[in-house]
């Protein structure tokens, strides 16, 4: 059985128990423009109504300095990128744009990286996986419609 967790932590900040274990890391990188716009919208949505929305200029400055998100964007991305070259058996670096371009290839690549490649007979399952993971499907899930940012 696999243990899976999701995080926005930069590679250098992952605990040694992760980095020095048999765990594998799949890092999904977005285009910096898309990452910034997504972060800006997320922060404005998460801010209390009593605060004014963050301007695009202020948000961009904060994004570049690493105040928004999880450190400076390039430091975050390059940590995983470099590690994927140093330890390709341990870190798989994927780009969101490549997923959009050829989801089938990227699903196969991820399965192989995880040590569970698809057999020829299982390849028809890849289309089902891509539909289950599509934005259209994910945005319709109850948790994504009505979930909250903080739960205690």
Closest CA to 55 of 46, 43, 67: 43
- HSE-CB at 145 with a 13 A cutoff on CA atoms is 7
Of the pLDDT bands very low, low, confident and very high (cuts 50, 70, 90), residue 144 is: confident
Residue range 14-56, pLDDT digits in tens: 899 888 888 899 999 989 898 889 888 888 887 766 678 888 8
pLDDT in tens, 55-106: 889 888 888 888 877 778 888 899 999 999 999 999 999 999 998 899 889 9
For residue 29, give the nearest of 95, 80, 75, 89 by alpha carbon: 95
In this prediction, residue 87 carries a pLDDT of: 93
pLDDT of 109-133, one tens digit each?
999 999 999 998 887 899 898 888 8
Note the pLDDT of residue 136: 83
Given 8, 12, 76, 80, the catalytic residue: 8
Task: Please give the CATH architecture assigned to the domain spanning 15-144.
Answer: 3-Layer(aba) Sandwich (3.40)
**Domain map (residue ranges) of the chain:** 15-144
Instruction: Quote the CA–CA distance of 76 and 112 in Å, as a whole number.
Output: 25
Q: Pairing state of beta strands 91-95 and 25-29?
A: parallel
**What count of other Cβ atoms lies within 10 Å of the Cβ of residue 148?**
7
Catalytic (active site) residue 12: no
Confidence of residue 151 (pLDDT cuts 50, 70, 90): very low
Task: Say if residues 64 and 70 touch (Cβ distance below 8 Å).
Answer: no
Query: What pLDDT shows up at residue 88?
Result: 95
In 30-140, the DSSP E strands lie at 91-95
């Amino acid at each position: 059985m696999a243990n899976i967790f999701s995080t926005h932590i930069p590679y250098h900040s992952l605990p040694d128990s992760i980095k020095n274990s048999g765990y594998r890391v799949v890092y999904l990188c977005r285009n910096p423009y898309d990452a910034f716009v997504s972060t800006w919208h997320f922060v404005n949505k998460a801010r209390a109504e009593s605060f004014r929305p963050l301007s695009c200029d202020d948000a961009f400055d904060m994004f570049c300095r690493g105040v928004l998100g999880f450190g400076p964007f390039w430091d975050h991305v390059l940590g995983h990128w470099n590690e994927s070259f140093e330890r390709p058996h341990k870190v798989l670096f994927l780009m969101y744009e490549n997923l959009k371009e050829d989801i089938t290839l990227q699903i196969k690549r991820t399965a192989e990286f995880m040590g569970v490649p698809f057999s020829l007979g299982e390849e028809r399952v890849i289309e089902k996986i891509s539909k289950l993971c599509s934005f259209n499907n994910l945005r319709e899930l109850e948790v994504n419609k009505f979930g909250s940012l903080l739960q205690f």
